[in-house]
Chain A
Amino acid sequence: MWTRVIALIIKEFLAILRDRKARITLIGPPIVQLIIFGYAATFDLKEVPYAVYDEDSSLASREFLARFEGANAFRKVAVLQKEDEIRQLIDTQQVLLVLHIPPRFQSRLTREGNAPVQVIIDGRNSNTAMLALNYVNEIAANFTLNMARQKGLSGPAAQLVVRAWYNPNLESQWFIVPGIVGLLTMVVTLMVTALSIAREREAGTFDQLLVTPMNPFELLVGKTVPGLVIGLFEGSIIVLLTVFWFGVPLRGSVPALYIGLLFFSLSIIGVGLMISSIAATQQQGLLGAFLFMVPAVTLSGFATPIANMPEIVQKFTLFNPFRYFLVVVRKVFLEGAGMELLLTEYLCMAAIGVVTLFTAALMFRRRMY
């Protein structure tokens, strides 16, 4: 039996890797994607363009505004003289926000202790808007506290001291890039497996395989191993790039990560082979892979938290292997988790893998009729 399985495995590797173009598509695009997405997929605010409309022009207002000029997140692009300029600047997206300081700012601040500052934000991208507003909030609160300390207190006051665990500077990259390990491993493994049987069907070689003494189990093993090896290899390259190129710390145990990667690859191979054994043509295989991939990525917590989704969609994500792997990869990378914390995730991915692989093996033959 093992002679047959090994022959099949060697053949699969040759079929995938013999072609120079195929080798390049397996390695090139994922790495380019990792680099581009690693940098592009960021929610961090950098150099938010803003304008100032200061109607007071007092010492206090200048002091307040100076705090923005010192901040990395902001970049002043205009100083306004008239209120109607605001509209035009925001409409055409030249600035994301405008700080409007009304007249009598300083006198209200000193006399009434309460001076309003208007912040006008472009809400077209609500996430950016919220983040920017939070920055403004922070600067304003610190300004207030500082004033209090200088001018004397009239009641209790406290400072808010925020520390972030695992990701002290709250860098998006630390969140996104380990996720890409899973994303690209999934894409490559799925491409290798989802088309493998469909391709053989189109070429007529699948019949040729079925008349050999090979049984479905041997076929399954022969088709799984190459996908697994390629998946693990691809995953390893990306893990290395994540650590050494992007400088994301790998704090947890490497074996814990690899056990996760193994189960994850298996579950994706199962899905891929299932798609492949249903699809009659490569085009259908491609479409099937696509139809699986879009929700698998969207509903995984890769870019947006699962907690923000409606209850019913959250339930649905329980069937998504990527969801579990994201937990594993992030916990291991950033939280330094070991295996004992990840047992649930391992178990869920393994269960998905067993079910899909088994179904695929059943369908190898059945689809023929």
Chain B
Amino acid sequence: MSPALRRICALVRKEFLQVIRDPSSIAIAIVQPLFLLFIFGYGISLDATHVPVACVVDATGPNAREFIGGLYQSQYFSPRIYGSMAEAEQAMIKGDAMATIWIRSDFERQAMTGNGKIEVIVNGVDANTARLVQGYLIGHWGQWLLKQGATMGLELKPRIWFNAEVRSRNYLLPGIIAVIMTLTGTLLTAMVVAREWERGTMEALLSTPVTISEVIVGKVIPYFLLGMAGMGLSVLTARWLFQVPLVGSHWLLLAVSCLYMLAALAMGLFISSFSKNQFIAGQLAIITTYLPAFMLSGFIFDIHSMPTVIQWLTHIIPARYFVTILQTLFLAGDVHGLVIKNAVYMAGLAAFFLLLVARNSRKRLD
């Protein structure tokens, strides 16, 4: 074995021993992925069902009854009849009802002339839920219109591809894997390198014949493997515990994850190349990589809906590309064009950061 290889092996071995013995490294690498998956798997859901709806029906005819009756059949609503609008409004203010449906007493007569009105008030504070509820009601109304045979009209036949049950978990959990890998790759790496500076071990290391690239490789290998282990763990948990389908090829997923891991590590090493203090390195890593991976990657919030400037900003965030690939591989399958395009961007960013690291690292203390 060449001396360089021997030195790298020794460094990797050392790093592994340290990880095993340092509870906070284990916490970040193994416990944290599971923790986040559980929190997100169970805690976050955008699927509003059984929304409490207050119904005030002043009309007595069959058409109004049929409209309200239909609500009981839907999984989206849990309707409740109130005697007057005042009561219903009170329920809205207290938060007991998300929306109120009011059918006035002259409804039947007006409806025959086509001027019937079904009035809906939604609580708009939670705009997203409000919009979903509004949408559900519109769908319900459309069906009611057709069923009444009042008119001819359109019949929408929606087909939702890739996520037929429309579970938000199915796209949130693959997304969170990107966040998890960012934490291991960037936060942990930046902090362990800073720790070597703080404890003075870096000075001792640099005074041996070891070269700076060997030191870097010695850091990259163990945390790469650790990050990939966390990734594997996350995929297994998502797949088997939370029943997220994995349609695409496992090998492609592995290959792309490796690429992202490299980019995350490069960012971690880059941060640690100019911050030799654990606290600052940690904060920098959280602000520049973790939060963007969370907010700007399209993992929860759709990038399309963001203002142009911020959309432009998302292009320099590797997590953005990875989240797209993850959601596609998990739910849609091997869409080669899309995966390759995003992978190329990711590789470009990884190379860019690695280049910066190489430029910034010298075997010296100043």
Contact = CB atoms under 8 A, between A and B. Distances in A.
Interface size, A (range): 35 or more
A42 B148 contact: no
B217 interface: no
Contact of B114 (A114, A125, A134, A148): A148
B24 A284 contact: yes
Contacts of B92: 165
A155 B148 contact: yes
Contacts of B160: 121, 123, 126, 129, 133
Interface string A73-95: 00000000000000000111100
B251 interface: no
Given A158-B110, A158-B111, A305 B138 contact: no
A69 interface: no
Contacts of A149: 114
B139 A120 contact: no
A126 B125 contact: no
B156 A140 contact: yes
B45 A309 contact: yes
A147 B291 contact: no
Given A126-B171, A162-B120, A313 B43 contact: yes
B289 interface: no
Interface stretch (A10-18, A171-179, A224-232): A171-179
B154 interface: yes
A123 B150 contact: no
B205 to A, nearest CB: 21
A167 B125 contact: yes
A170 interface: yes
Contact of B129 (A112, A299, A305): A305
Nearest to A105: B154
B283 interface: yes
A121 B24 contact: no
A147 to B, nearest CB: 6
B225 interface: no
Interface string B239-261: 00000000000000000000000
B296 interface: yes
Contacts of A290: 286
Interface string A110-139: 101111111111111111111101111110
Nearest to B45: A308
B224 interface: no
A112 B152 CA distance: 7
B44 A114 contact: no
A197 B310 CA distance: 38
A299 B39 contact: yes
B186 interface: no
B114 to A, nearest CB: 5
Given A137-B135, A309-B45, A64 B154 contact: yes
B79 to A, nearest CB: 15
B130 to A, nearest CB: 5
Nearest to A49: B304
Interface in A167-208: 167-168, 170-172, 174-175, 195
Contacts of A33: 291
Contact of B45 (A93, A168, A304): A304
B154 A143 contact: yes
Interface in A39-91: 39-49, 64, 90-91
B112 interface: yes
Nearest to B174: A124
Contact of B154 (A115, A135, A163, A175): A115
B146 A156 contact: no
B116 A158 contact: yes
Nearest to B119: A161
A25 interface: yes
Nearest to A155: B150
Interface string B141-161: 110011011111111111111
B155 A114 contact: yes
A254 interface: no
B98 to A, nearest CB: 8
Interface in A1-40: 25, 29, 33, 36-37, 39-40
B63 A156 contact: yes
B322 interface: no
Q: Which of B35, B282, B298, B302 has the most chain A CB atoms closer than 10 A to its own CB? A: B302
Contacts of B130: 164, 167, 170
B278 interface: yes
Contacts of A125: 171, 298, 302, 327
B126 interface: yes
Contacts of B338: 91-93
Contact of A154 (B113, B151, B163): B151
B111 A42 contact: no
11 contacts: A109-B153, A114-B146, A122-B161, A123-B163, A126-B46, A140-B142, A144-B152, A144-B154, A157-B150, A158-B145, A304-B45
Given A91-B332, A291-B35, 13 more contacts: A115-B153, A116-B156, A126-B166, A134-B138, A140-B142, A154-B151, A155-B149, A156-B116, A158-B141, A159-B116, A165-B92, A175-B127, A303-B300
Top-5 shortest CB links A-B: A134-B135, A113-B152, A158-B116, A144-B153, A167-B124
